[in-house]
Amino acid sequence: MASKPLICFMQISFLVLFPLFCSPISNAADIPPELTTPESPETICKSTPFPSSCISILPKAKSNVYDFGRFSIRQSQSQSQKFLNLIEKQLQRASTLSLPTIRALQDCQYLVSLNLDFLSTCTATVSKTSRVLSSLDADDVQTLLSSILTNLQTCQDGLQSAVSSTGSVVENQVLDSISNDSKLHSVSLALFTNGWVPKNIDASALETKTHSTFRNGRLPLIMSSQDRKIYESALNRRKLLQAGSSVVVKDIVVVSKDGSGNFTTINDAIAAAPNNSVASGGYFLIYVTAGDYQEYVSIPSNKKYLFMLGDGIGKTNITGNRSVGDGWTTFDSATFAVTAQGFLAVNITFRNTAGPNKGQAVALRSGADLSTFYKCSFEGYQDTLYTHSQRQFYRECDIYGTVDFIFGNAAVVFQNCNIYPRLPLQGQSDPITAQGRTDPNQNTGTSIHNCTIKAAQNLGTTKTYLGRPWKEYSRVVYMQTFMDNLVDPAGWSAWSGDFALSTLYYAEYKNTGPGSNTSARVTWPGYHVINATGAANFTVSNFLLGNNWLPQTGVPYTSGLI
């Protein structure tokens, strides 16, 4: 059916006082002299993970970390374009490839296109200054450079999985390019970190502070029955927002399966959203009424600052059943995927019903920077919630799954969430997290703060672990979280032999409950029981710089430790 016209209402603005967390840009005099002193590539490259690759990339003449950093990032941009051309050339011979391989190449095409956009932003930033950036500006670029590595790793993982499962052949040139490009991107990230990222964090950010702009713990958009009637009849939409609301909404559309709204599908509503909105302009609100929406949703990067509001967990349900077992890549198995900055979801269930025997099957994948999920449920089995990349926050959400059901390489904080391991296939255990950090300079990791870990109804005696290291620098921290007796005394599980046991960073801080006893935990070099100073690094205010962007969402959060 034809969509109904969009109905707009007056923007209701509000005053947000952003905490002065970030230090001002340093004066030139504040820059350590070693950063501006010309050095040889051999000296500069010692601080990178791949010194020999770094030396081969940089010009031979002496220079400083800023000039070398700019050169490296421009090289990353140029090489990414060449790799995209190579991928598109591979796709031109799709008739000779298996369907899983084609899908993996299409993932690569999409991910490398994102990388080119990210690198354009990074180049613009580093071209403007030869000095340490503010914490916020530096974190923005470090996030993008970290995501570039993650995107390329995802491309590689998908291709290798497709080749191993089908025997399809991908030219060695593709896999060689991934390996070489990853080293180049790693060098760019290291040089940026050494030159532009501030070494000291403002101590005022360590204070404990709870922000809650929801009155009586409720979303400002709660509707009375009369308001709902007014809303669904497209009359006087302004009544949806309480006076003094902390959420700025510029446009509203309704999705309803019975045809009473503007659209009957979520995808049609997303297509109607404006492109490249900015935070100050307010959200485009998509209100999805109660119902089961069996559709695959992918929100592209240009649909920024969307606010998707449902009628509640178990009421507004978005459902799919794609899986690796049925030939999809893990990346593209997601029922719901979003890469658009500033995405906000409230009161929605995201579900993948493929079941435990279909392998990896994602309910939600987010590569959306500054994305927020409040009072949502993520339901699946293996690989339920793919926190793929960038900065993300989850508050008062429910997460159900089996193997590695919270995984990815975002900088992400889960706060006041419920984590429910489910019954896997016979012989499988339930590692909750599989964090995918591949580089020591990535600002990524999974922080689980003030959450609750309890067994789903049918878990039985399945061994449950806090996580296992998917990639070499895997980083996960549990803080002030209740752990029931389902958590194995060892706490953590190996991935394969001694892989990553000395390079990972796993930590626990003041957890409670029968599963929180650390006396019998693993003794790996990378495992730590930390104090408050160490734990503060993984709070909303420090790990996500959340005081700078979460207030506009209206979602309550605790910025520091409890």
Token digits of residue 469: 């290291």
DSSP-derived pairing of the beta strands 406-408 and 385-387: parallel
Residue written as token pair 């990639």? 471
Please answer whether residues 52 and 39 qualify as being in contact, where contact means their C-beta atoms are separated by less than 8 angstroms: no
Q: How far apart are CA 104 and CA 162, in angstroms?
A: 7
Q: How far apart are CA 182 and CA 151, in angstroms?
A: 10
β-sheet bridge partners, residue 395: 374, 415
Residue from 405, 334, 323 nearest 359 by CA: 323
Residue from 438, 440, 439, 420 nearest 430 by CA: 420
400 contact partners, CB below 8 Å, separation of at least 6: 377, 378, 379, 380, 384, 420, 422, 456
Element (H, E) at 316: strand 316-320
3-state helix, strand, coil in the chain (%, to 5): 35, 20, 45
DSSP code string of 46-97 = GGSS-HHHHHHHS-SS-B-HHHHHHHHHHHHHHHHHHHHHHHHHHHTTGGGS
176 is catalytic: no
Beta strands in 321-425 (DSSP E): 336-338, 344-346, 349-352, 364-366, 371-374, 377-379, 385-387, 391-395, 398-401, 406-408, 411-415, 418-421
Which residue type is seen at 271?
A
Token digits of residue 169: 């052949």
Q: How far apart are CA 455 and CA 458, in angstroms?
A: 8
Task: Catalytic residue, from 139, 369, 404, 488: name it.
Answer: 404
- Residues carrying an active site annotation: 404
